[in-house]
Amino acid sequence: MRVAVGQFSAGTNTHENTTALGRMVEAAAAAGAELVVLPESSLYGTSEGAGAVAAVAEDLDGPFVNAVAGFADRHGIAVVVGTYERNPDGLPHNTLVALDSSGDILGTYRKVHLYDAFGYRESEGIAPGNPGEPLVFSLGGFGFGAFTCYDLRFPESARAAIDAGTDVLLVPAMWIRGPGKEDHWSTLLKARAIENTAYVLAANQTGPLATGYSMAVDPAGVVVANAGEEAGLIVADLDRDRLNRVRRQVPVLDNRRFAVVPQAPVRSAESG
């Protein structure tokens, strides 16, 4: 199965962001991909605090998701993309939406681990999702599971998706630049692939805010495609035989002795 990963830099003009996504969906379909993974925060990107997204958050049947659904249907390709979802109960969600090749919603994922790190407080403007609701769907004979950016630092996020039947981990992100951040990104992506014997497809935003380096990693931790720093698209082929062979050679999923159990957030001393 051929898949694609797109990266770009979202700005504060949602129309321009949507147009850029449409071009990437078209290019992915032209390359023969059956699925394209696009970054977190593709609706709107800013260096402002997390509270800024409340003004632009949309319902899942709003203009942004409807436009992406139209791209998926027009080009006959499934799409996973990050947006900001209006929440009638309070702060908006940082949400991934998976759409099939007809533009119908396969499922959603609301970011569980909010980016309260490196001096940023995502929780000031975003409501966390439910850790008991992984996004998992089937396509082309593979199981796909998705989570978002900072979730990558928590191996339980990936393992919960694996337990739900995932062969391919999808990681839309806006991995912010900073000391050591590129190394963290690549190391963690390879670790999630190796420890779960799963493919990893990671779609990051590019500069000036994020690091770029979207990539496809195979179940043995081999990087098979890397997008570098500039906006663009990478393509990779998922191989069922390769996946099965690695899982036979390193049967960590059969040998494991611990389960993943969702829990309530642990409050730090700083947060009271």
d(CA 174, CA 204): 5
Exactly one of 34, 58, 85, 149 is catalytic; which is it? 149
d(CA 152, CA 213): 15
Rama region for 122: left / alpha / beta (φ>0; ψ in -120 to 50; rest)? alpha
Whether 124 sits among the annotated catalytic residues: the reply is: no
Whether 26 sits among the annotated catalytic residues: the reply is: no
Whether 111 sits among the annotated catalytic residues: the reply is: yes
Exactly one of 34, 58, 85, 111 is catalytic; which is it? 111
For residue 109, what are the β-bridge partners? 96
Tokens of 237: 């082929």
HSE value, Cβ hemisphere, 13 Å, CA-based, for 195: 17
Exactly one of 34, 40, 85, 122 is catalytic; which is it? 40
Catalytic residues, by residue number, are: 40, 111, 149
